[in-house]
Chains A and B, each alone.
Chain A
Amino acid sequence: MVVSLLITSTNNNHSPLFDRGDFFQNMRTILFIVAISAFLFSCKKAEIENYKEWGFEKPSHFPEPHYKFENNTQTYDRFDLGRELFYDPILSLDSTISCAKCHAQTHGFADHNVNFSLGVNNTVGKRNSPALSNLAWYPNFMWDGGINHIETFSFAPITNPLEMHETMTNVVAKLNASAHYKEKFKKAYGSETVTDQKLLKALAQFMAMMISAESKYDNYVLGKTTFTSAEENGLQLFKTHCASCHTEPLTSSFGFANNGLDSDFTNDLGRGLVTQDPNDNGKFRIPSLRNVALTYPYMHDGRFFTLNQVLDHYSNGIVQSSTLATSLGTGFNFTTQEKQDLITFLNTLTDQNYLANPFLSEKKK
Chain B
Amino acid sequence: MKNLFISAALVVSALSVSSCKKDDKDTTPTETTGTVELNMAHRWGMGADNFLLNMELVHPMTQDTMTFTTFKYYVSNIKFKKADGSWYVHPESYFLVDLATAGSEILSIPNVPTGEYTDMEYTMGVDSLRNVSGAQSGALAVANNMFWSWNSGYIMVKAEGTSPNSGSGSFAFHLGGFMGSNNVVTVKTVNFAGNSLTVTGGHTSEVHMTVNPAKLWHSSASLATTSSLMMPGATAKTMATDFYGGIAFDHIHE
Contacts and interface: CB of A to CB of B under 8 A. Distances in A.
| A and B are interacting partners | yes
A3 B135 contact: no
A305 interface: no
A150 B134 CA distance: 7
B231 to A, nearest CB: 7
Interface string A1-32: 11110000000000000000000000000000
Interface in B110-146: 131-137, 141-143, 145
Contact of A146 (B1, B131, B134, B151): B151
Nearest to B137: A197
State the main secondary structure of chain B at its contact with A: loop
A168 interface: yes
A200 B135 contact: yes
18 contacts: A142-B150, A146-B151, A147-B149, A148-B132, A148-B152, A149-B133, A149-B152, A150-B134, A151-B135, A152-B142, A160-B150, A196-B142, A197-B137, A200-B135, A201-B134, A273-B151, A274-B151, A276-B232
Contact of B4 (A3, A168, A200): A3
A169 B233 CA distance: 29
Task: Kindly name the residue among B135, B143, B153, B232 whose own CB sees the greatest number of chain A CB atoms within 10 A.
Answer: B135
Nearest to B141: A196
10 A-B pairs with the lowest CB-CB distances in the bound complex, closest first: A151-B134, A200-B135, A168-B143, A151-B135, A148-B152, A156-B149, A196-B143, A146-B151, A197-B137, A149-B134
Nearest to B142: A155
A357 B121 CA distance: 53
Interface string B210-221: 000000000000
Contacts of B3: 1-3
Interface in A135-156: 142, 146-152, 155-156
A84 B143 CA distance: 21
Interface string A310-328: 0000000000000000000
Contacts of B7: 1
B177 to A, nearest CB: 10
A242 B235 CA distance: 40
B147 interface: yes
Interface residues of A, number: 32
Interface in A184-210: 195-197, 200-201, 204
A167 B135 CA distance: 16
A230 interface: no
A254 to B, nearest CB: 15
A156 B150 CA distance: 6
A2 B153 CA distance: 51
Contacts of A168: 141-143, 145
B152 A3 contact: no
A138 B151 CA distance: 15
A240 interface: no
Contacts of A197: 135-137, 141
A225 interface: no
A204 B135 contact: yes
Interface string B222-244: 00000000011100000000000
A201 B142 CA distance: 12
A144 to B, nearest CB: 8
Contact of A147 (B143, B150, B233): B150
Given A168-B143, A196-B141, 18 more contacts: A1-B7, A2-B3, A71-B133, A147-B149, A149-B132, A149-B134, A152-B142, A155-B147, A156-B149, A156-B150, A167-B143, A168-B142, A195-B143, A200-B134, A200-B135, A204-B134, A274-B151, A276-B232
A251 interface: no
A309 interface: no
A155 B151 CA distance: 11
A72 interface: yes
B47 to A, nearest CB: 37
Contacts of B151: 146-147, 273-274
A152 B135 contact: yes
Interface in A167-188: 167-169, 172
Interface string A262-276: 000000000001101
Contact of A3 (B1, B132, B133): B1
A3 B233 CA distance: 67
Contacts of A215: none
Interface in A113-158: 142, 146-152, 155-156
A4 B135 CA distance: 41
A169 B143 contact: yes
Contacts of A150: 134
Given A146-B150, A152-B142, A276 B233 contact: yes
